[in-house]
Amino acid sequence: MTVKLVECPRDAMQGWKHFIPTEQKIRYINSLLQVGFDTIDFGSFVSPKAIPQMADTKEVVQKLNLNAGKTKLLAIVANARGAEEAAIFEEISFLGFPFSISQTFQKRNTNSSMEESLKRVEDIQELCLRQNKNLVIYLSMGFGNPYGDDYSQEILLHWAGEMVKRGVTIIALSDTVGVATPQQISFALDTLIPQYPHIEFGVHLHSTIENWQAKTAAALNAGCLRFDGALKGIGGCPMANDELVGNMNTEWMIDYFKSQNVLPQLNFDALQNSLTIAAEIFGKDL
């Protein structure tokens, strides 16, 4: 048994303070494709006004070398139009849709209500079935929110169930602002995984050096085998309009999963090369 590692350069890049040149993105993502990650969350098909950093996703995807291994590509979409644009590319295996269980954040992130977003899930799922893609639902603000919107474990479990009803088979619980406790993570996964054994549940966690291992261990011990991360722990959603805790640091997870004997086979020379490029792009001090 090994875990699936989903590397998220898109999440690392999307809120970066200056535009990262397209050629640098291509070089970085191509290096990641050689490491052995299960999936690369590489870009998004969203409004360039909303996320200027991702305006070149169409150019990037056409220059990626998928012959390097078995790693698959995931692109984030916010509506059916973005899904249609992404589905054109055979290189893309997964479309990811962020469904926030916070009404305020859903409006900020996709400019739609939760009810409208549920309809988008249905439309995108139908498109995925036609185009031989897989839909990944990210239940964002999955462990609380900074806006005062109602939150409970029951709300999280309700929306996970709504996704299952609509044929979604991959659901990632997203700790968008880093508030999840290990106990919350354990409870959610201990409830969901036995209830929906045919669903692949993952976690997209934001964490600090103090709590990353407890969160990771809680998810793994609950039976989760899909983990999102970003090299050097960079990233966060700029649409939150709040100072965010960074993404789960991939290097930390690799060390932990190795100690637990669940790490998949990786090319560590390629990983070191990716870390070098990340330092060049994001700054030597990271």
Q: Confirm if 50 and 17 have CB atoms less than 8 A apart.
A: no
Average the pLDDT over 56-76 and give the result.
95
Q: Confirm if 244 and 21 have CB atoms less than 8 A apart.
A: no
- Range list of H helices, the chain: 9-13, 22-32, 57-61, 80-87, 103-110, 114-131, 153-165, 182-195, 212-221, 250-259, 268-282
Which residues, 6 or more positions from 123, have their beta carbon under 8 angstroms from its beta carbon?
80, 83
119-138 tens-digit pLDDT: 999 999 999 999 999 999 99
Lowest mean pLDDT among 7-11, 38-42, 140-144, 200-204: 140-144
Q: pLDDT at residue 16 above 80?
A: yes
H or E element in which residue 246 lies: none
Give the predicted TM-score (pTM) of the model. Answer: 0.94
What are the phi and psi torsion angles at 53 (to 5°)?
A: -60, -25
Instruction: Give the C-alpha separation, 98 to 137, whole Å.
Output: 6
171-213 tens-digit pLDDT: 999 998 888 999 999 999 999 999 999 999 999 999 888 999 9
